[in-house]
Structure 1
Amino acid sequence: MCGRLNITDSLGVRALCEQLEIDLWPATNMRFGRFIRATDTVSIVFEHGGKRLMQEATWWLLLDAQRQNGTTVFKPSRYTSFNTRYDKLDRPGSAGYASFRQQRCVIPITGFGETVHRDGKNFYYDISAQDGMALGGLYRIWRSVSPDGTVTEQFSCSVVTLPPHPKMATLHPKSCPLMLSVQDGSVSQWLSCHATHTGQLKPLLQPAIRQRLCAQQIDKPSTYQPVGDFFWLDAD
């Protein structure tokens, strides 16, 4: 999966967040952007104490503590971690091992971008869902304590990536993101605080398109000019 997300303020994203039991307006200031890249801030939804909460998070799971103007701040690590591969979730010591068991989240989005390299050139595609899309991810919490004892928290996150889906082979032959749905219960299963045994979650780690998607080739992510006709990717 490429390192860019499309999170626009749309009726579909609003409806998705309402289904996720998140009241965006005016209680929560959700992060929107047409071209969100790795290390940018995104909004994640997670479950805590029986409630679903929304929180801003750095889209890069591993952060490093740095001193800045006498205080501790957390910056993206030199280790690439905006995505977490499915085959590393059960590998002790890996970045996502503990989070897979205790700190799972979803990222409400409009769509995501993929890049295909063919014949020495890059081809860019935008994949979106009219009703909004929920990507399955992991999060971590980083804490610092100031000299006066004030505790500051910073969240980070990653998107879980799966083996390539046959329907997306021409768009990204190496992997696809974990796509979840409110309608089929996969969102609730992923977020559930009670799902602490990884065997309960393994069925979700199979590539699946859970809603109809629209794919459009674009000239480049920064300008987003359509190239040719769009086409549909039907749900499985």
Structure 2
Amino acid sequence: MCGRLNIIDDPDVIELCEGLQIQIFPERQIFNRFIRATNQVSIVRQKSGVRRMENATWWLLLEPSETGFKPSKFTSFNTRYDKLNTKGAAGYQVYRKSRCVIPVKGFGETEYVNGKPIHCHDMIAKDGAMLLGGLCREWLNKDTGETALSFSVITLPPHPKLLAIHSKASPLMLPLDMQLIDNWLDVAVTDPSVFSSLLQPHIPYDLVAQQIDKPSTYRASSDTFIIPSDL
């Protein structure tokens, strides 16, 4: 899984966002060293031919509440790769119609055994920033007219280089190939077979990793080490 995001106000993150040629910023971009599921995150999507950065709830499935919308009881901050082509699954339609990218400096993982955390690691891009691939969905409360935007991060099988950090899954890290990114964000691209190669675990960036005590305090408990990108 992808358990937390690191989106700091960093020149590399800003440069990456500028390279995405975002045309509309309806809301102020969110920066935070420790963003967890159900928090608001700045994502990039394309709507009506215009690339937009908008703030979305990190939980794909929402439901109406007295104060607007709230995360559904069904866990959906990540969407597994093997559910993207399963009819009836939460990600099936949005994978074809509403993909997004999440610009980040890095992400974090916690390994659990029998429901208990064993160790936590943070990883950041060694040079620059990175893009995670995700899905987004708009919600409308028919009674109040209120709208909301939500998203999930797509997760892949565990990557061999990350097994000692997290043995269950790895996030979809998109290579900085602008033609690929353009296709990913283009709502006119509805045939997901063009993205099949992305659904294999792959690390397109050199990562700097470090074990920490826990996500909320992120005190280092080891030296940093490099996880090299895949060739």
Instruction: Judge same fold: TM > 0.5, yes or no.
Output: yes
The runs of 5 or more residues in structure 1 that have no matched partner are none
Structure-1 residue corresponding to 2:14: 14
Q: Matched residues in 1 for 2:18 and 2:85: separation?
A: 32
Q: For the aligned residues, what is the CA RMSD?
A: 2.0
Aligned residues: 228
Deviations 1:96-150 (A, max 9, x none): 1110000000111111111124697521100111411111000110012566xxx
Task: Choose the corresponding residue for 1:226, options 215, 220, 223.
Answer: 220
**Structure 1 residue 131 corresponds to structure 2 residue 125:** no
TM-score, scaled relative to structure 2: 0.91
Structure-2 residue corresponding to 1:180: 174
SS at match of 2:181: helix
Amino acid at match of 1:87: D
Distance 1:36 1:198, change over 3 A: same
Among all aligned residue pairs of Structure 1 and Structure 2, give the percentage whose two residues are the same amino acid. 49
Deviations 1:45-85 (A, max 9, x none): 011222211111000000111234xxxx1100000000000
Residue 92 of structure 1: how far off its partner (Å): 1.1
Structure-1 residue corresponding to 2:62: 63
Structure-2 residue corresponding to 1:38: 37
TM-score, scaled relative to structure 1: 0.90
Amino acid at match of 1:224: Y
Task: Choose the corresponding residue for 1:142, options 133, 139, 144.
Answer: 139
The runs of 5 or more residues in structure 2 that have no matched partner are none
Q: Is the 8 A contact 1:17 1:23 kept in 2?
A: no
Amino acid at match of 2:138: I
Residue 183 of structure 1: how far off its partner (Å): 3.4
Amino acid at match of 2:195: L
Residue 208 of structure 1: how far off its partner (Å): 0.9
Q: Matched residues in 1 for 2:117 and 2:156: separation?
A: 25
SS at match of 1:201: helix
Residue 188 of structure 1: how far off its partner (Å): 2.4
Distance 1:110 1:104, change over 3 A: same
Residue 38 of structure 1: how far off its partner (Å): 0.5
Residue 221 of structure 1: how far off its partner (Å): 1.0
Task: Choose the corresponding residue for 2:73, options 60, 78, 83.
Answer: 78
Q: Is the 8 A contact 1:162 1:178 kept in 2?
A: yes
Amino acid at match of 1:51: V
